[in-house]
Structure 1
């Protein structure tokens, strides 16, 4: 029996919110959704005509997020037993637990969600400074989130749905980033700005 009927996929904004909440890079989201180079994650959350995430892919994402590692490995093992052939990482032995990932840090400032993937002090300081200038330039309402991906030393912004987000407002957001963020992506290009980061050590 078909259990999922009248499926409507999440829109690009919803998927971007999920990515912001998880604090994952594009590469990690591609892995989470079981995607490949032919249809990478950015093609679902950006561009003039974002792709739609089918129900099987969304089910895959939801399962990865909802199931603990042991249950997920049992699902993969069951797929193997049913005749599928694929590679997947075996769970590590109990005697050698994986090292915990650095915890993400996040806060809200002037309505914007500020996230450092690894909880880096200097990244959060840059994000707070960005929020201050965005507020001063009267464009904070246009920024949904600023996410600093510590693993690749790059900050990305997601914009709120707002009728007033015109070219002049985008320029002011860019200026706020240029004043405060060491390395950031804007309109598909990478820029250097701010001041050199200090060591967290």
Structure 2
């Protein structure tokens, strides 16, 4: 996708809500528009992961930084399960695959940027 000029309008028709990701990158009076195609895992996908990990709902909530087991169930049940944002999924997946040292480096970068964060 081409970069947009300042003041130029982007027409989102043809994209659904999960396909558009805006990234503003000031570069010689132009801003870039990036997009990604994302489809959230289903409730069944999350249940399979929970079973593979042998986790409780509370442990899954902690993994994905959800308030607790009751909130986690909103992603795994009910008439219309909630879709997980790509950011939340990325966070949980990173915690599953990164080593402790790699995760510490990411957290250090977040702090350097200005966040205050501690993870047990």
TM-score normalised to structure 1 length = 0.41
Match of 2:82 in 1: 51
Partner deviation per Cα, 1:85-143 (whole Å, 9 max, x = no partner): 13333xxxxxxxxxxxxxxxxxxxxxxxxxxxxxxxxxxxxxxxxxxxxxxxxxxxxxx
**Contact 2:60 2:69 (8 Å CA) reproduced:** no
Compared CA separation, residues 23 and 37, structure 1 to 2 (3 A)? closer
Structure with the bigger RCO (C-alpha within 8 Å, sep 6+) is: 2
**Contact 2:40 2:86 (8 Å CA) reproduced:** yes
List gaps (5 residues or longer) in structure 1. Answer: 90-201
Greater percentage in strand: 1
Does residue 12 of the first structure (1) align with residue 43 of the second (2)? yes
Partner deviation per Cα, 1:139-164 (whole Å, 9 max, x = no partner): xxxxxxxxxxxxxxxxxxxxxxxxxx
SS of structure 1 residue aligned to 2:55: coil
Does residue 76 of the first structure (1) align with residue 110 of the second (2)? no
CA distance in 1, matches of 2:35, 2:47: 23
Written as runs of structure 1 = structure 2, the 5 A alignment for 1:51-130 is 51-89=82-120
TM-score normalised to structure 2 length = 0.66
Compared CA separation, residues 11 and 79, structure 1 to 2 (3 A)? same
How many residue pairs match? The answer is 89
Compared CA separation, residues 24 and 37, structure 1 to 2 (3 A)? closer
**Of 26, 30, 48, which aligns to 2:57?**
26
CA distance in 1, matches of 2:76, 2:94: 20
**Contact 2:64 2:91 (8 Å CA) reproduced:** yes
SS of structure 2 residue aligned to 1:40: helix
Compared CA separation, residues 37 and 18, structure 1 to 2 (3 A)? closer
Partner deviation per Cα, 1:31-86 (whole Å, 9 max, x = no partner): 10011149721111111111101100111111111101111111111111110013
Compared CA separation, residues 14 and 4, structure 1 to 2 (3 A)? farther
List gaps (5 residues or longer) in structure 2. Answer: 1-22, 24-32
Shift, 1:30, TM fit:
0.3
